[in-house]
Structure 1
Amino acid sequence: MPDVAVIDYGMGNLHSVAKAIEHVAPKAEVVVTDDPDLIARAGRVVFPGQGAARDCMAEIDRRGLRGAIVEASRTKPFLGICMGLQVLFEHSEEGDTPCLGLLPGRVLRFPDEAMHDTQGKRLKVPHMGWNNVYRMMEHPLWAGIEDGARFYFVHSYYVEPASPDVVAGMSHYPFAFTCAVAQDNLFAVQFHPEKSQAAGLRLLGNFITWEGK
């Protein structure tokens, strides 16, 4: 039984996530897999990814991973990263895509008309680079991470949860947006902890020791 299963649906730099987990947990058995049975047997699950929502959902279903993802999110410590956050919600504007519906809410594109800083300078989409993350709830995955710590982002869409109760972290570009959510065994982030140096490695280390709820 692997300690950590990193879900492989053919999108994103999955091996960089696996290597970062191995760095913080050198004794853990980490597997990158699209085998639903192996995901079901793993002690904890990481759901990373990049790319477009429609392609992501198509690959999840083509590989028969939908049930394994839903079950893992309900029964064991589960970490979503980037696209692994967005498709947890009900619907994405990206390609008008129905998603997994594990959390009520939607995924929206950064609106062109709003993308200006306080001096009126045009802001680029995708939002790419380092940005501050502010805690909206206490959670074991934030342990040892300074409020306002900087994490690395690459995304053109952001999540809008239907309830504020699941919002675990916020960032700002150029308006406040949800960048982390938490509910029971599930924690998911828009930023890339595997690319976020000390703060990101600390979050991954916290995930390895977190037993969920």
Structure 2
Amino acid sequence: MSTKQRIAIVDYGMGNLRSVYQAVKHVADEHDVVLTHDPEIVASADKVIFPGQGAMRDCMKNLNESGLRIVVEAAAKEKPFLGVCVGMQMLFEHSEEANTEGLGLFKGRSLRFPAALMIDEVGQKLKVPHMGWNNVKHARQHPIWQGIDNNDRFYYVHSYFVHPVDTDLVIGVSDYPFTFCGAIASEQLVAVQFHPEKSDKAGLQLYRNFVNWDGKTSS
């Protein structure tokens, strides 16, 4: 997209906001990138980025108390929208983390990595949270993957993973040690469990792809 856009990064008091802002600004310097807690700015933005970090219950509490919930829900349905980490989990109905209700925009829930299954191929116990670099396999094609190699590495920090009812939402998966959902997409919305702002060139490319995306699912 060649015309100047306003890209709003939602500030409801949770998330790696400064790092997200710096990464998006780096790839979208010709656009108006704003970190904002103003509902009117989010509502009027051309695109919205919805980060989240920390406990799901705290994220939902802050979002509800910020006055931003309604405009975030509307943006997720109406314009190019990118959820990041807990910002992806919040889009679903429920999380096992503190038995927390999400926004319910998609059917499904976030589950904790089960201790009984956290064993690698040589019998070593895996840590939770899942923290560090991991390969992301493209479950299906999407413009957000343009210029990003299938199985490229992204940085994760999480103890819970999304389990969508509609598996057609899933566009990216990782293994730890079983396969889990790393990215989803529906119409003009994309969301990722990993942190693009911590993921070097691949992460910057993903943000660049979102900035350039017209909101259509075809490449």
TM-score (norm 2): 0.95
Pair 1:149-2:184 in alignment: no
1:89-129 superposed Cα distances (whole Å, 9 cap, x missing partner):
00000010010001110000000111010111010000000
**Equivalent position to 1:73, from 50, 73, 76:** 76
Task: Tell me which residue corresponds to 1:88.
Answer: 91
3-state secondary structure, aligned to 1:104: strand
Equivalent position of 1:58 in the other structure: 61
2:164 is aligned with 1:161: yes
Partner of 2:26: 23
% identity of equivalent residues: 55
Equivalent position of 2:118 in the other structure: 115
SS at 1:95 equivalent:
helix
More strand by percentage = 2
Letter in 2 for 1:119: V
Secondary structure of 1:54's counterpart equals helix
Distance (Å, rounded) in 2 between the aligned partners of 1:24 and 1:32: 15
Structure-2 separation of matches of 1:207 and 1:2: 12
**Could you tell me whether the CA contact under 8 Å between 1:2 and 1:41 is conserved in 2?**
no
Hey, what's the Cα distance between the residues in 2 that align with 1:52 and 1:36?
Answer: 23
Q: What letter is aligned with 1:189?
A: V
Asked if structure 2 preserves the Cα contact closer than 8 Å seen for 1:2 and 1:31, the reply is no
**RMSD (Å), alpha carbons:** 1.0
SS at match of 2:22: helix
| 1:2, distance to aligned residue in structure 2 (A) | 6.2
Mind listing any 5+ residue stretches in structure 1 that lack a counterpart? none
Say whether 1:170 aligns with 2:179. no
Equivalent AA in structure 1 for residue 71 of structure 2? A
Q: What is the rounded CA distance, in whole Å, between the counterparts of 1:150 and 1:13 in structure 2? A: 19
Alignment of 1:31-46 (within 5 A): 31-46=34-49
- The one-letter code sitting in structure 2 at the alignment partner of 1:202 is Q
Q: Could you tell me how far apart the structure 2 residues matched to 1:103 and 1:212 are? A: 18
Runs of 4 or more above 2 Å deviation: none
| CA drift at 1:211 | 1.3
CA shift, 1:154, in A, is: 0.2
Q: 1:122 to 1:85 in 2, by over 3 A?
A: same
Structure 2 unaligned spans of 5+:
none
Partner of 2:102: 99
Aligned partners of 2:160 and 2:79: how far apart in 1? 27
How many equivalent residue pairs? Answer: 213
Q: Counterpart of 2:149 in structure 1: which amino acid?
A: E
- In the alignment, the residues of structure 2 paired with residue 117 and residue 39 of structure 1 have an alpha-carbon distance, to the nearest angstrom, of 43
Give the whole-Å Cα distance in 2 for the aligned partners of 1:187 and 1:170.
14
SS in 1 for 2:141: coil
Q: Distance in 2 between matches of 1:162 and 1:101?
A: 12
Deviation of residue 49 (structure 1)? Answer: 1.5
Q: Could you tell me how far apart the structure 1 residues matched to 2:48 and 2:79 are?
A: 7
Given that residues 170 and 176 in structure 1 are in contact (C-alpha distance below 8 angstroms), is that contact kept between their aligned partners in structure 2?
A: yes
